[in-house]
Amino acid sequence: MCYRGAAMQRNVIRAMAGGWEGVEPSGYAPDGSGTGVVRHTLVGDRKADRSEPGPQMELRYFEVRPGAASRLEKHEHEHYVIVKTGYGYAIVGDKAMEIAPGDVVYVGPLQVHQFVNRGDEPFGFYCFVDTCRDFSQQPTREELARLDASPAGAVAKPFAVPPPQKR
Amino acid sequence: MCYRGAAMQRNVIRAMAGGWEGVEPSGYAPDGSGTGVVRHTLVGDRKADRSEPGPQMELRYFEVRPGAASRLEKHEHEHYVIVKTGYGYAIVGDKAMEIAPGDVVYVGPLQVHQFVNRGDEPFGFYCFVDTCRDFSQQPTREELARLDASPAGAVAKPFAVPPPQKR
């Protein structure tokens, strides 16, 4: 059982310069380094089971350095993204769409996706996910070939972040 | 069955001056007028049943005019709020907390809550909810008395928005 979320959940998480009060930024990949992506977990925490106490959803904020990108991946759970700062591409399926502050992105189940910084300043976005969710899957060889042959292939970074370690 | 969400769900919802492309703002209360609160439904749509197609969660943006407030209410479903613009109070239980852009608010099940504009410009925030959710409940007489006797009583606006009509 994971009581962390329930015990520590505050009602207000205050923004401050460079982040949020009481929120320790963490690395994005398991080894926590070298990806150029930083994660702030603002509300909630991953659960193994929906009956565990604490918020049902998890709100994270990701900041992607110029030249960097999130992992190219797919999974059953949905993403709801709101761009806070900077400029990026949202790759969803075989489309790459330019996104800017205030734009909202919905990624449905098993849609291959990636968020790429397309500017020269940090690209930051909020991302909502279920606390009970499946793990990242790498795109299949066919999906990678289709992406590569599409206009989105020009901006995708399939190897920006290594595949997740088995847990 | 509600296919609206599934049929119309786009991957990117673009911000534009005053709102988002293809999103028609709507009134907050059932009669759609007089509350000083406008709702933009950006992703998803209320479902009667989780098996209906379309996003599992709903992302809305609310804009509250100076002097106005959201409904003082409680319900089983959770709220996840991100302040986008302006200044407000988040009333949760018997606490009123000043909130500003970038602040995040979590409202747990059955916590009485209200969002009040405390400035002289629009107060706008994103709010995530489950698409399958219970309806608004009015606070009990005891909850109202406790709120009134607390510091939050000075800023709460119990009658800002009429109770929802039975559906």
- B124 falls in which pLDDT band (50, 70, 90)? very high
Closest-CA distance of chain B to residue A150, Å: 17
Beta bridge partners, B82, equal: B104, B126
Cβ contact A103–B78 (<8 Å): no
What pLDDT, on a 0 to 100 scale, did the predictor assign at position A164?
Answer: 75
Closest-CA distance of chain B to residue A70, Å: 17
What pLDDT, on a 0 to 100 scale, did the predictor assign at position A27?
Answer: 83
Task: Identify whether the C-beta of residue B6 lies closer than 8 Å to the C-beta of residue B53.
Answer: yes
Q: Which of A95, A97, A104 sits opposite B59 (nearest CB)?
A: A104
- The lowest-confidence range among A74-78, A92-96, B162-166 is B162-166
Cβ contact B106–A13 (<8 Å): yes
Task: Identify whether the C-beta of residue B51 lies closer than 8 Å to the C-beta of residue A145.
Answer: no
Q: Is the Cα torsion angle B135, B140, B145, B146 positive or negative in sign?
A: negative
Tokens 């969710």 belong to residue: A133
pTM over 0.90: yes
Q: What is the pLDDT of residues B69-122, one digit of tens each?
A: 999 999 999 999 999 999 999 999 999 999 999 999 999 999 999 999 999 999
Contacts with A14 from chain B: Cβ below 8 Å: 103
Q: What is the pLDDT of residues A98-148, one digit of tens each?
A: 999 999 999 999 999 999 999 999 999 999 999 999 999 999 999 999 999
Q: Which of B11, B102, B106 sits opposite A11 (nearest CB)?
A: B106
Q: Mean pLDDT, chain A, as a whole number?
A: 91
Mean pLDDT of all residues in A51-62: 95
Task: Identify whether the C-beta of residue A98 lies closer than 8 Å to the C-beta of residue A158.
Answer: no
Q: What is the pLDDT of residues A153-167, one digit of tens each?
A: 999 999 899 877 765
Residue of A nearest to B43 (CA): A106
- The lowest-confidence range among A4-18, A73-87, B99-113, B121-135 is A4-18
What's the CA dihedral at B36, B120, B148, B62 to 10 degrees? 40
Contacts with A84 from chain B: Cβ below 8 Å: 102
- A1 falls in which pLDDT band (50, 70, 90)? very low
A112, amino acid identity: V
Cβ contact A20–B104 (<8 Å): yes
**pLDDT above 80: residue B8:** no
Contacts with A43 from chain B: Cβ below 8 Å: 80, 104, 106
CA-based Rg of chain B, rounded to a whole angstrom? Answer: 16
Cβ contact A106–B80 (<8 Å): no
* ipTM (interface predicted TM): 0.93
Task: Identify whether the C-beta of residue A147 lies closer than 8 Å to the C-beta of residue A156.
Answer: yes
Length of chain B: 167
Tokens 């990678």 belong to residue: A144
Phi-psi region of B18 (alpha: psi -120 to 50; beta: other; left: phi over 0): left
Cβ contact B15–A100 (<8 Å): yes
Beta bridge partners, B105, equal: A12, B81
What pLDDT, on a 0 to 100 scale, did the predictor assign at position A28?
Answer: 77
Closest-CA distance of chain A to residue B34, Å: 27
State the CB neighbour count (10 A cutoff) for residue B36. 18
- A30 falls in which pLDDT band (50, 70, 90)? low
Cβ contact B108–A9 (<8 Å): yes
Interface test with B, best of A10, A12, A59, A132 (most B CBs within 10 A): A12
What pLDDT, on a 0 to 100 scale, did the predictor assign at position B29?
Answer: 66
